[in-house]
């Protein structure tokens, strides 16, 4: 990383100055039998080329030592000034502090999502997560331009297949990971590493080639999405069942204020837990349609009747207005 290299060079040059000052002071003390203060004063005026008179008369040995001190001292000073100028001119100081601030924010995240890859698909995912108010960190190998990266978006530059980069993104505290890197091999490496670093997180991976889905699932992915397969089905359905596709788009489109389809988790102790759909009045009072209920064991109950009981741990697949869905979310929270 360029920033780390320049910072190390600057620190190294500062250490060199200290070494030169210490060596010069020690040399004058032992060679010329001067006091430490006189030796330090002579060393500082020599390496800074101030040009004041000598503190005491120098012997021939002392003059030779002074010549060597001038060469190394002035060279070290110029080297340090060059590194300092690079930091100031290239905005290195601002980048250092900005990076530290970003790292502090990432370390404070918990139950967030990690998006590996910020290409065309990654941008769509990031936009959707942001609109839903979800916390997430983007990992991208290349430097992202300001046009593609929002000012408040948290990002880590690096190779997502490496454990240290995933740890920098807070994978141990993450709720889920989405890997949409260009190749299936890279996504496979990410899934393997992520599953080891956080066995409990939800992992979704992109599959490009046929046959990669099973490999990614065996590697530890919870879900595998093939954009080409889904895109082909979508095009076919648009031709064969256009009204169905129109309804799905209408119900799932981001920013739609009329109708949304959401999944709502029912917490233990929620007011609607233990009641039937008729008793809690979801459809009658809120006008929300419960399309399906996913039970704790994973069973999916489609088109539940009004006698169906809502249990703690259920996930309600609900269709309705966004404001009414927010009311249902509140009812499903722990009281």
Whole-angstrom distance, CA of residue 29 vs CA of residue 225: 74
Nearest Cα to Cα of residue 7 among 15, 22, 220: 15
In a domain, 328, yes or no: yes
* Structural domain containing residue 297: 256-332
Element (H, E) at 234: helix 227-240
204 and 132 fall within a common domain: yes
In a domain, 243, yes or no: no
pLDDT of residue 90: 61
Domain CATH for 281: 3.30.70.1450
105 and 217 fall within a common domain: yes
In a domain, 143, yes or no: yes
Helices H, strands E: what count in the chain?
13, 10
pLDDT of residue 165: 92
216 and 153 fall within a common domain: yes
For the record, the structure tokens of 303 come out as: 């088109």
In a domain, 244, yes or no: no
Domain CATH for 119: 3.40.50.720
Residues paired with 206 in a beta bridge: 225
Q: Give me the number of domains the chain comprises.
A: 3
pLDDT band with cut points at 50, 70 and 90 for residue 237: confident
101 and 212 fall within a common domain: yes
pLDDT band with cut points at 50, 70 and 90 for residue 187: very high
Domain CATH for 53: 1.10.287.70
Average pLDDT, the chain: 83
How crowded is residue 286: how many other Cβ atoms within 10 Å of its Cβ? 18
176 and 130 fall within a common domain: yes
For the record, the structure tokens of 132 come out as: 């839903």
In a domain, 27, yes or no: yes
Distances (CA, A) of 77 to 12, 22, 35, 90, 144: 12, 14, 24, 20, 36
pLDDT of residue 139: 92
pLDDT band with cut points at 50, 70 and 90 for residue 148: low
For the record, the structure tokens of 178 come out as: 């989405």
In a domain, 239, yes or no: no
Q: What is the pLDDT of residues 122-132, one digit of tens each?
A: 888 988 888 88
In a domain, 247, yes or no: no
pLDDT band with cut points at 50, 70 and 90 for residue 257: low
224 and 293 fall within a common domain: no
pLDDT of residue 147: 54
Residues paired with 179 in a beta bridge: 116, 205
In a domain, 75, yes or no: yes
64 and 107 fall within a common domain: no
294 and 179 fall within a common domain: no
Are 280 and 309 contacting, i.e. CB atoms less than 8 angstroms apart?
Answer: no
């Amino acid at each position: 990383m360029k920033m780390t290299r320049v910072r190390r060079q600057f620190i190294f040059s500062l250490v060199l100055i200290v070494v030169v000052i210490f060596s010069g002071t020690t040399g004058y003390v032992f060679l010329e039998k001067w006091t430490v203060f006189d030796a330090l004063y002579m060393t500082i005026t020599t390496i800074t080329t101030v040009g004041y008179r000598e503190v005491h008369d120098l012997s021939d040995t002392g003059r030779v030592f002074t010549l060597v001190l001038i060469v190394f001292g002035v060279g070290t000073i110029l080297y340090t000034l060059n590194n300092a100028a690079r930091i100031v001119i290239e905005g290195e100081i601002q980048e250092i502090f900005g990076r530290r601030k970003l790292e502090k924010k990432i370390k404070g995240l918990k139950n967030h999502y990690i998006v590996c890859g910020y290409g065309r698909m990654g941008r769509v995912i990031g936009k959707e997560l942001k609109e839903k108010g979800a916390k997430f960190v983007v990992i991208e190998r290349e430097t992202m331009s300001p046009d593609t990266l929002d000012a408040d978006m948290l990002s880590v530059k690096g190779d997502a297949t490496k454990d240290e980069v995933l740890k920098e993104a807070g994978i141990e505290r993450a709720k889920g990971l989405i890997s949409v890197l260009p190749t299936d091999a890279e996504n496979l490496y990410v899934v393997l590493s992520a599953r080891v670093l956080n066995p409990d997180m939800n992992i979704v991976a992109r599959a490009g080639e046929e046959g990669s889905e099973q490999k990614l699932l065996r590697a530890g992915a919870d879900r595998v999405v093939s954009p080409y397969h889904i895109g082909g089905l979508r095009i076919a359905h648009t031709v064969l069942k256009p009204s169905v596709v129109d309804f799905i788009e209408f119900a799932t489109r981001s920013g739609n204020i009329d109708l949304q389809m959401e999944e709502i988790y029912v917490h233990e102790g929620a007011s609607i837990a233990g009641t039937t759909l008729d008793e809690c009045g979801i459809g009658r009072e809120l006008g929300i349609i419960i399309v399906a209920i996913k039970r704790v064991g994973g069973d999916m109950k489609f088109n539940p009747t009004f006698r169906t009981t809502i249990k703690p741990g259920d996930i309600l697949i609900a269709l309705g207005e966004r404001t009414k869905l927010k009311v249902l979310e509140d009812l499903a929270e722990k009281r």
